[in-house]
Amino acid sequence: MPTNRQILLDNRPQGEATTANFKLVSVDTPALQPQEVLVRHHYLSLDPYMRGRMNDSKSYAASQPLGEVMIGGTVGEVVESQHPRYQPGDKVVGMGGWQEYSVVDASQPGALRKVDTAQVPLSYYLGAVGMPGVTAWYGLVKIIAPKAGDTVVVSAATGAVGSAFGALAKARGCHVVGIAGGAEKCQYAVQELGFDACVDYRPHKDMYSLAKALKEVAPKGIDGYFENVGGMVMDAVMLRMNAFGRIALCGMIAGYDGQPLPMANPALMLINRLKVEGFIVSEHMEVWPEALAELAGLVAQGKLRPRETISQGIESAPEAFLGLLKGKNFGKQLVKLV
Amino acid sequence: MPTNRQILLDNRPQGEATTANFKLVSVDTPALQPQEVLVRHHYLSLDPYMRGRMNDSKSYAASQPLGEVMIGGTVGEVVESQHPRYQPGDKVVGMGGWQEYSVVDASQPGALRKVDTAQVPLSYYLGAVGMPGVTAWYGLVKIIAPKAGDTVVVSAATGAVGSAFGALAKARGCHVVGIAGGAEKCQYAVQELGFDACVDYRPHKDMYSLAKALKEVAPKGIDGYFENVGGMVMDAVMLRMNAFGRIALCGMIAGYDGQPLPMANPALMLINRLKVEGFIVSEHMEVWPEALAELAGLVAQGKLRPRETISQGIESAPEAFLGLLKGKNFGKQLVKLV
């Protein structure tokens, strides 16, 4: 059996996460039991939610146990199978974790999903046509529920979720504004991702300055906001929300290290009669087929061209993950494992 | 024609509101035009929303113009009528403002509403069977939408909205917890208003202490919260919200004087997948008939016995209003004008 290199969570972060929280180990892959499949991972997905799992405290979901392989989405190829539905060579998506191989009980519903790479590159199933894409779809369609002509805004606009949000919102006739860190990302959002405008938050020292910049590109106010970030960016957007606006709350990356991250003026939720709703896409599996079909269609039509940042080798995962938390990636952050 | 004493907004508050912001004047009531009705007010309602209207800035609704009679709900008796549907002696509810008489164009839809005082005392139409009661109904029924057995919490529990909320929630089989300022109010909430428990927030120095007290009386966590207050009380409740909890945002009285009033940990909205929704009951007129019918029924059955704090004479209105903002009232704050 092949040797499998894995990244374990070795200890929990005290404040900011560091590479010392992780540990690289090598193990042999075990012999397969009936119904099991051995998958060789081609790509590992790195996502902000993983930071929450590293804490012991209550977060999105169960805490990641110490000494176990870090959780994570993977795409790969079946190399050996004891399950009749899977053959060597099949391309599959699963939650293989931060390792080069995984052994999966394929009889568990949802554990593996075969994917078609004729029109959609394999890695996209971890981004635009995967969990991040469905996340954008749920927040836009089920929470923001925009009408054509509505102004919608997304933070972390060039990320995996933001890119998909932009394409989905344009397809619904919205005026779509992104917020991103840096002129290069903003230029990319407009020129490649089809955003109507994008605001670089970095030059803005406070929420009033950023709100003023948003006013210039969203002169009719903001009807829907998809929140990937929290903090000052959210405070600024709230200053520009229209009455009866909707905010889909998906990520608050700036608060994961445990600093208090207050909302400056929650009374705006009352004054403008906003609806603010937090969600986790894995609790809404019923929308996945519809969402994935639309996302795959947008990719096939060239209307969703997500960017990827790819680091090489499982040993690069911790560094790449810490960079993601600081916004160093550009588009979907992946680790290539083959 | 009788002389009419009025309270005008003379100037806007700089920070905290004071009696110097108001001005008492006397004018003659004008002769009636066709369709007009002269109403002698028996009671004026004082409500927290009025503080927002005193500011120039964007708030709930249009700012109260300077030099004009303060806005406010009134109940009274028709003393003269040029409209065929109204006769002297009719009891009516309207938005007569801070004055002893009002002249109303009764042909305007919704300007006046005749009420029946056989089973419901006239003053209740400003409280439990009026705008505050419907406010409680909307937040509970349309936003919180509880199931029997859910734990629901309301702040300012002995106020006009809180009292009605308690009765409406008990009628739906909820475990109902109030939050109020002082042992006397809490005792009243449990003994007279039918709350299952009530927490006095005053001894608690921070949100963690108050959250611990809430845990004792709401051991299964909180499914729905009706927010009349904001600030530390809301922060504490958020620490105890269950997954998929709903928060109806109705008032943030502590922030009206312009101090920043941040929310300590907005990430809890994401972590617990909360839905937070601000609303103004006057934008949901479609629910009023159903809500008023239920509220009048609860009063008639003795299941809703709201308390009132009544000051005497129009000249007492500013002082009584400032007391309301500080929580000095006990139950619905009214001004008796006859």
A61 contact B CB<8A: no
Counting the structural domains of chain A, the total is 2
Q: What is the CATH number for B109?
A: 3.90.180.10
Query: A113 and A202 share a domain?
Result: no
Q: B120-149 as b/e, with b when 16 or more CB fall inside 10 Å?
A: bebbbbbbbbbbbbbbbbbbbbebbebeee
The answer to whether the Cβ–Cβ distance between B278 and A264 falls below 8 Å is no
Closest chain B C-alpha to A315 CA, distance in angstroms? 30
Q: Are B149 and B174 in contact (CB under 8 A)?
A: yes
pLDDT digits (tens, 9 = 90+) for B186-239: 999 999 999 999 999 999 999 999 999 999 999 999 999 999 989 999 999 999
Which of the residues B57, B144, B249 would you substitute to probe the A interface, choosing the one with the greatest number of A C-beta atoms within 10 Å?
Answer: B249
Question: Taking CB atoms and an 8 Å cutoff, what residues of chain B touch A267?
Answer: 230, 252, 255, 261
Predicted confidence (pLDDT) per residue in A68-85, tens digit: 999 999 999 999 999 999
Any chain A CB within 8 A of the CB of B280? yes
Q: Is A255 on the interface with B (CB under 8 A)?
A: yes
CA A168, CA A281: separation in Å to the nearest integer?
16
Let me know whether A186 and A266 are in one domain.
Answer: yes
Residues B40 and B112 in one domain: yes
A270 contacts B252? CB cut-off 8 A: yes
Domain membership flag for residue A289: no
Name the pairing type of β-strands B36-45 and B332-336: antiparallel
Residue B257 banded pLDDT, cuts 50, 70, 90: low
pLDDT tens digits along B149-187: 999 999 999 999 999 999 999 999 999 999 999 999 999
pLDDT at residue A260, as a whole number: 66
Contact A233, A201 (CB under 8 A): yes
H runs (alpha helix) in chain A: 49-54, 131-137, 160-171, 183-191, 207-217, 232-239, 267-271, 288-300, 317-325
For residue A25, pLDDT over 80 is answered with: yes
Helices (H), chain B: 49-54, 131-137, 160-171, 183-191, 207-217, 232-239, 267-271, 288-300, 317-325
Most confident of A248-257, A292-301, B248-257: A292-301
- ipTM of the modeled complex: 0.88
Tell me, yes or no, whether B138 and B278 share the same domain.
Answer: yes
> Which candidate in B261, B270, B280 is best for mutational testing of the A interface (most A CBs within 10 A)?
B270
Token readout for A43 is 């790509």
Is A290 domain-assigned? Answer: no
Does B255 contact A249 at a Cβ distance shorter than 8 Å? no
Where residue A240 sits, what CATH number does that domain have?
Answer: 3.40.50.720
> Looking at the domain assignment, is residue B203 inside a domain?
yes
Residues in a beta bridge with B131: none
- Indicate whether B102 and B147 sit together in one domain: no
Longest dimension (CA), chain B: 63
Is residue A233 domain-shared with residue A325, that is, in the same domain?
no
CB contact under 8 A, A230 and B266: yes
Q: Is residue B120 part of a domain?
A: yes
Q: Is residue B298 part of a domain?
A: no
Cβ of B271 within 8 Å of Cβ of A230? The answer is no
Interchain contact, A278 vs B272, CB within 8 Å:
yes
Q: Per-residue confidence at B59, pLDDT binned at 50, 70, 90?
A: low
Tens of pLDDT, residue by residue over A90-127, are 999 999 999 999 999 999 988 999 999 998 999 999 99
> Are residues B109 and B161 located together in one domain of the fold?
no
What rounded mean pLDDT belongs to chain B? 94
Q: Which domain holds residue B20?
A: 3-127+306-336
Residues 6+ apart with CB under 8 A from A156: A162, A179, A180, A228, A229, A251, A253, A327
Assess B267–A contact: CB distance below 8 Å, yes or no. yes
pLDDT at B260 over 70: no
| Residue A151 located in a structural domain | yes
